[in-house]
Chains A and B, each alone.
Chain A
Amino acid sequence: MPFLEVQHLTKDFGGLRANSDIAFTVEQGELVGLIGPNGAGKTTLFNCISGLHPVTSGQIIFDGEDITKLKAHEVARRGLARTFQVYSAAGDLTVKENIMVGCFMRTRSRSRAKARASEILKDLNIDDLSDYLVTELPVSAQKRVTMATAIGSDPKFLLLDEVAAGLNPNEIEGIMASIKHVHDDMGITVMLIEHVMELVMKISHRVIVLDYGEKIAEGDPEAISKDPRVIKAYLGERYVREHGVRSADSTE
């Protein structure tokens, strides 16, 4: 049985169909990339899975349970956590306290939440940030804090929404290592939305591609980067016609 199963998921915003009949599965222990041009419906899909948006039709099954109709906090308590593209954490709390907010999902005790937050800070190598306010930090550090906060809730499955956006190559290396650490060492199944192709293609076991709200391709990174439908979605029909199909990672 798959860990996460999305069946015929459709999401309409008024007359706009943001997700159309999307279906895929994720197995426990996988690291799956979700890519697609801007406006393809990736974040909407995450919002539907995590319960922030009610779906129009379709089903989401997580860990053997139908979570389609659950509210966001109920989904989170079942071990399906997520991060946000634009993270606005509690601005008047320090980094450590933000992570504690995550930890408080599993414990009522302040000292236990504090101890767990310290562990996570150390584990993700950010204990030097501990006492800063999140708003004082550069974007790259904020992205790590959002991951750390989600991990505080001790998830089994983590949805990462563009954790590498706006980072320089050095910082991307760092966040990539963190994602691998979360996946490999903490044993958390990861699905990530990412525009930074070198990151997605390097670490994903499998990549799902959305375009105009539909799933247009799925497969291992190698195959996806050569898939003509994917190249067309990113570069446009005219480009493909005039230049022929080329490998998408030729930009490297």
Chain B
Amino acid sequence: METIRNALDFSDFPRLDLTVAGAVSIAFVVFPLFPHSAFAMATMIQFLMFSLYGMGWNTIGGYGGQVDLGKAQYVGIGAYTTAVMLIRWDVPFWVSMPIGMCLAVGWSFIIGYPLFRLKGHYFAIATIASTLVLKDIFEVWGFVGAARGLEISPIKYNPPDFLRLIFRDDIYYFYTILGFFFLGIFYINWFRKSRLGFQLRSIKDNEDVARSLGINVHWAKVKTYAIATAFVSMVGSFHACYIKSIEPEDTMSLDISILIALMAMLGGAGSLWGPIIGAGILIPLKSYLKEWLGAQAGLVGIDLIIYAGIIMLISAFEPRGIWGIVEKIRRRTRS
């Protein structure tokens, strides 16, 4: 009971934040009722998915300050678990998703336990390396379709299939991921003020102080890494049913890992709204840039140039991202 109350307790946010958040939430809920293009719908779903990836990343990367550039491997584990189980054994999404989360969390312990002995850049590099290794394995592993990947064929099912999460109309996917999105916000709202959340925020600023307050720093990081992983794997499972075609190059690429971290950092690492703001800027930017410019010769890759520019701007001016700027202005006007 206390946990639920804490998850719903937003009382430490200014009224303005809550008003905006409420208005945006309502806009999301009613969005499909208004005329929209299929492209806008797809962008919305991508945005919600990446918001969730970002929220997961934000636990370890934002609140914990451990720059994790290897989240794509867990997208892959979630997506492959769901796809393999559906195709081979006809296991519904709602069963395969938790199984995928368990597998991903198990893998995260194997990866996280040794990796968290490393610090700073070394940790970031190691997370990249572990993703590349897993991707290479999946590319040659016949059971999961190797480099050609897996294809979920909707003809075999009878959409709308709520158990297997196979739909013809994107609106169903939209509301499913929107549900996850709200649950994610409530979870992170609980997490940031939980025991682990506070401990992690203390670890970020000074590990020695944290240790002397009785915090097992290594274990706290491993646990939080597992939480981040569970988030990412959950959305990975959704990704499999939504995209219906997965291959290692797509789901486990370095691009995805970096995009996840970048969004959260752009929006504001270590804040509740940060990853959502970051995804809200980068995902439409990415989609529309691809649409408008990507097709033209010589402009392929311009989105990468823009990402690189954003990374440089954040690290040079405001490491706490857009939300950091907002809070800075607020503090200045208050005092």
Taking beta carbons and an 8 Å cutoff, which residues of A are in contact with B?
A: 50-52, 71-73, 75-77, 81-82, 84, 87-93, 97-98, 100-102, 104-105, 108-111, 113, 136, 149-150, 152-153
Instruction: Kindly state whether residue B287 has any CB partner on chain A within 8 Å.
Output: no
> With A104-B199, A110-B2 given, is the CB distance from A84 to B208 under 8 Å?
yes
Determine the chain B residues whose CB is within 8 A of the CB of A87 once the complex forms: 209
In the assembly, what is the distance between CA of A72 and CA of B195, in Å? Answer: 19
Question: What is the bound-complex CA distance between A110 and B198, given in angstroms?
Answer: 10
For residue B194, CB closer than 8 A to chain A, the reply is yes
Which listed residue (A76, A90, A91, A136) contacts B198, Cβ 8 A?
A90
B2 touches A111 (CB 8 A): yes
Check A52–B211 contact: CB distance below 8 A: yes
Residues in B lying within 8 Å of A, measured CB to CB:
2, 6, 193-195, 198-199, 201-202, 204-206, 208-217, 270, 331
A101 and B212: CB pair below 8 A? no
The reply to whether B212 and A110 contact each other, CB–CB distance below 8 Å, is no
* Residue from the list B193, B201, B215 in contact with A110, Cβ < 8 A: B193
Contact check, A92 vs B215: say whether CB atoms are below 8 A apart. no
B195 touches A108 (CB 8 A): yes
For the complex, give the distance between the alpha carbons of A152 and B195 in Å. 14
Would A73 and B206 be within 8 Å (CB), given that A82-B212, A97-B198, A110-B2 are in contact? no
**Contacts A72-B212, A76-B213, A89-B209 supplied; 20 other A-B pairs, CB < 8 Å:** A50-B212, A52-B212, A73-B212, A73-B217, A75-B212, A82-B212, A84-B208, A88-B209, A89-B205, A90-B201, A90-B204, A97-B198, A100-B198, A101-B210, A101-B213, A104-B195, A110-B2, A110-B194, A111-B2, A153-B213
Instruction: Name the A residues within 8 Å of B195 (CB-CB).
Output: 104, 108, 110, 113
**Inter-chain contacts of B217 with A (CB < 8 A):** 73
Q: In the complex, A105 Cα to B214 Cα: how many Å?
A: 6
Query: Which residue of the partner chain B has the closest CB to A94?
Result: B12
Q: List 8 A-B contacts (CB under 8 A).
A: A73-B214, A82-B212, A88-B205, A89-B206, A97-B198, A98-B202, A108-B195, A149-B213
Which 4 A/B pairs are nearest by Cβ-Cβ distance?
A: A105-B214, A72-B211, A76-B214, A90-B201
Q: Which of A71, A88, A105, A108 contacts B213 (CB 8 A)?
A: A105
Cβ–Cβ contact B205 & A73, under 8 A: no
A91 to B319, CA, bound (A): 14
